[in-house]
Amino acid sequence: MKKLLLPFAAFLFLFASCSPKMGEESSSETDMSSNEPASTVEPEGSMNDNWVAKSQAGVDFIATGNEPFWSVEIDFEKMMTFNTMEEPNKMSTPVPNPVRPQDVNAISYRANTEKGNLYVTIFKEKCMDSMSGLESPYKVTVSMKPGDSDEYEEFTGCGRYLGNYRLNDIWALTEMDGESVAPGDFPNGVPTLDLQLKQGKVFGHSGCNRMNGKITMGDDSVTFGPLTSTKMACPAMQFETRYLAALSGNTLTYELDGLKLHLQGKEHTLTFKKVD
C-alpha cells in the first residue's frame, strides 16, 4: 500500500509546485492594470484647475499650441498677451475691436503697436491638441511680428472661452419675456440655474422638476446642451415647458448687472437674481 501512495504523493507535490499561487496571479493582474496610461482628456466643456485660476484672475479666453509651445490669454476688458518659448518670447497689446472675416465663422483681433503686430483669429471649429489629445471648441491662429522684424511668425493651436467666473453661482428666475415671476405660482420653488463652469454643467429647478445638462461658454454667451429633467407633474407645467424651451439646445448672450443675470435668446429674455 505504501508503494502505491508514494508515487501519488509525488505527483501532487509536482502539480502544486507548477501551479501559480492565487496571490501571485492577483499581483500580476494588478501590475498590468497599473501600467495602463491615464487619460489626459478633459470632459467636454469642463475646466481644469489652471483654467479656473485664470478665469478668476480675469482671463476670458485662452489658447495654446505646440512646436514650439505658445499661449495666448485675452482679458477682453484689458490686454491680449502672447507667450512663446522662443525669442522674442512675449508680446502684450490692448485688446482691439473685433473683426469678423467674410465667409468664415471666426472672429479676429488685429493689434498694431510700436512693439509689433499681433493678430489672433478664433475659428468656431473643434480642435484637437497634438500632444495631449485634449479637444477644444475653437481653432486659433496667431500671426506675430516684432517691431524690429520684417516677417510674421505663424502659430496654430486650440482655445476656449473661460467665461466670466461671476456666472459660477446659483441664480433664481425673476422675469421672463418681460413678465415678473411670482413665487406663489410655483409651489415647488421658482426656476433656478446652478451654473458650474469648472465642470461645464448646469443644474437647477425648472418649476416642477429638477434639470441638468452641459454648457459651453462663448465670448459673451452661454450655450446650453439638451437639458434632461425628472417627470413630476405640478401646476406650473405650462411655464416649465416654456422655460426649458428657452434654454435647452440654445445659445444665449449674457449680461451681468450687479446681482442680476440677463440671458437673451432669439425668442426669449430671462432675468435672474443671484441666490444669497
pLDDT in tens, the chain (276 residues): 434 444 444 443 333 443 443 333 333 333 333 333 333 444 445 567 787 788 878 888 999 999 889 999 999 888 999 999 876 678 999 999 989 888 888 999 999 988 889 999 999 899 999 888 888 889 999 999 988 888 899 999 999 888 777 888 999 999 999 999 999 999 889 999 999 987 889 999 999 999 999 998 887 899 999 999 999 999 999 999 999 999 999 999 999 998 999 999 999 999 999 996
Domain boundary among 112, 133, 161: 161
What is this structure's pTM? 0.63
- Specify the CATH number for the domain of residue 182: 2.40.128.270
pLDDT, position 92 = 92
| Amino acid 88: pLDDT | 65
Residue where one domain finishes, among candidates 111, 144, 161: 161
Total length of the chain:
276
- How many other C-beta atoms lie within 10 A of the C-beta of residue 58? 15
Of 98, 161, 162, the residue nearest 124 (C-alpha): 161
- 170 and 270 assigned to the same domain: yes
- Same-domain check for residues 261 and 169: yes
Q: Count structural domains, the chain.
A: 2
CA distance 81 to 92: 4
- pLDDT for res 21: 38
What pairs with residue 224 in β-bridges? 215
Q: Are residues 170 and 98 in the same domain?
A: no
Residue with cell string 485634449: 134
Are 179 and 269 in a shared domain? yes
Same domain, 175 and 252: yes
pLDDT at residue 23, as a whole number: 38
**What's the pLDDT score for residue 46?**
59
Residue 9 located in a structural domain? no
Domain, as residue range, for 148 = 61-161
Whether 37 is covered by a domain: the verdict is no
Give the C-alpha separation, 206 to 237, whole Å: 9
List % helix, strand, coil for the chain (3-state, nearest 5).
Answer: 20, 40, 40
The CA-based dihedral angle spanning residues 184, 188, 190, 195, taken in that order and rounded to the nearest 10 degrees: 170
